[in-house]
Amino acid sequence: MPIVAVLLTALSLLPTSCRKQGPEEVPVILRLRTPAAQDSKQQHINVDAVSAWTITVSYPEESETGWARVTPNRGTGQADVVLSYGANEANSARSCILTLQCAGYATEYHFTQSGTLDGGVPGASSGAIDITPIAAAPVTWLELPETNASDGMDFAAHAMTTTSGIRTRNYSYYFNYKDRVSFWVAYPTNASIRGANLSGGTRTEAWGYDPFMPAAKQQNVSGGYKDGNNGWYARGHQIPSYHRQGLEANNAATFYGTNMTPQNNDFNGGTWANLENKISNFWTPSLEKDTLFCVTGCVTKDAKYYVYDRSGNQITVPTAYFKACLRYSSIKGVGIDGYMAAGFWFDHEEWSTPGKSNVKYTRDWAISIEALEAKLGYKLFVNLDKRVGEAKAAEIKKQDPKTIDWWK
């Protein structure tokens, strides 16, 4: 059972059921989130589900039972529920677990109330929040890389509504608290998702905190970065803003700090932008069933540079960036069972030099997914095996994109 931390500022989201849309599974999202309203006796929570749900409360310590309750504890669809509790006047923190069940899925949310000796105030209800990384992605979306139960990183995903009214995922990410950057951001793109983006849309510039992570542990990206030990860097999107410009709320999520990394400005607006523009053409918008599954990520191993955010937090400047693209085509005879893939790798310093920072896209940049996995040390498109089988998945990953005209 996947475990996600409950934050006083926000809660995460997970899938509950699936329906088919072309070649991919489009999940219907189950979501818990908390609005700002809270006081010393209760925490308001919104449930956004697609069918009947229940919430039960349990306690890690048997001696601490009965101090919290949820009202109502069952319902259907959207609802506002209240987690009620009294003040924690003990010295140490106490915790409860909210187990949310819907459409055959069960997800645990941990709520921690600090004691008087670890951040709380006598008579107050809230204090330090215990973050429990979920390590492994609890879903089987095709774009997802491998996750690891022991690496201490946190997986989360944002939902969106397409311009055609379909509910799906916006993007998911794997957040590293030490470096304060997401090691990767993964997302699908197809005609239903892009919708009005084809004719332009809204760039919200809604720089802000991700509601699914504690603000104190992410980047304060409002106003841009401050100089670190190597000067100034731009705020670089991992999922580009213009991939989610059909609806304002969907685009606003691309400006969260969890989607940002410090990126050399010339590279960000040059070579990197040229690649992103090309990737926008790596799918066929006229075919509803064609989908491009994307991963954008960074590497911080051996990093020596950093910047500061607006709250004075140190943010690691990545040493490398990559993109991985898995394309599905419904055209008969294309690819291996309709799939083909390409990877891209850029050493950050090397590609930030004047001679390389603004180079036009060429297919020679592309490498196989197998080669990209060797550089990264983990598996990309980890669920491809389930879709086409291990042998065909390996064949797709071994393909050299330089030899396939489609990647021009």
Neighbouring residues of 42: CB distance < 8 A, sequence distance ≥ 6: 82, 83, 84, 85
Query: Can you say whether the dihedral through the CA atoms of 186, 192, 193, 194 is positive or negative?
Result: positive
CA distance 319 to 270: 17
CA distance 224 to 58: 42
Beta strand spans in 245-352 (E): 260-263, 291-299, 306-308, 314-316, 320-328, 339-347
| Eight-state DSSP code of residue 241 | G
Residue 9 has pLDDT above 70, yes or no: no
Percentage of the chain lying above the pLDDT 90 cut: 49
Mean model confidence pLDDT for the chain: 81
Using the structure block, give the residue that is written with the tokens 């592309």. Answer: 366
Q: Which residue has the higher pLDDT, 121 or 139?
A: 139
Three-state DSSP class for 270?
coil
Task: Please report, for residues 8, 114, 230, 288, the alpha-carbon distance to residue 37 in angstroms, rounded to integers and kept in the order given.
Answer: 10, 19, 41, 41
What is the DSSP track for 338-379? TEEEEEEEEETTGGGSTTTTT----GGG-B-HHHHHHHHTS-
Residue 240 has pLDDT above 90, yes or no: yes
Residue 101 has pLDDT above 90, yes or no: no
The token duo for 52 is 């009947």
Q: Which residue has the higher pLDDT, 244 or 123?
A: 244
Percentage of the chain lying above the pLDDT 70 cut: 79
Query: Can you say whether the dihedral through the CA atoms of 295, 343, 370, 304 is positive or negative?
Result: negative
> Where exactly are the structural domains of the chain?
3-113, 154-407
Output the pLDDT for position 60. 85
CA distance 329 to 286: 11
Summarised one tens digit per residue, pLDDT across range 174-194 is 999 999 999 999 999 887 776
Asked which of 40-44, 178-182, 242-246, 313-317 is least confident by mean pLDDT, the reply is: 40-44
CA distance 10 to 212: 5
Alpha-helical regions (H) of 98-241: 191-194
The token duo for 91 is 């010295």
From 2.60.40.10, 2.40.160.40, 3.30.420.40, 1.10.10.60, which CATH number describes the 3-113 domain? 2.60.40.10
Residue 134 has pLDDT above 60, yes or no: no
What is the DSSP track for 48-64? EEEEEEEEEEE-SSGGG
Using the structure block, give the residue that is written with the tokens 């899938």. Answer: 15
Output the pLDDT for position 384. 96
Q: With beta carbons less than 8 A apart as the criterion, state whether 284 and 329 touch.
A: yes
Q: What angle (nearest 5°) sits at the alpha carbon of residue 393, between those of residues 155 and 386?
A: 60
Summarised one tens digit per residue, pLDDT across range 251-290 is 999 999 999 999 999 999 999 999 999 998 887 666 666 8
Which residue, 295, 296, 304, is CA-closest to 349? 304
User: How much is the average pLDDT of 152-170?
Assistant: 79
CATH H-level superfamily of 154-407: Extracellular Endonuclease, subunit A (3.40.570.10)
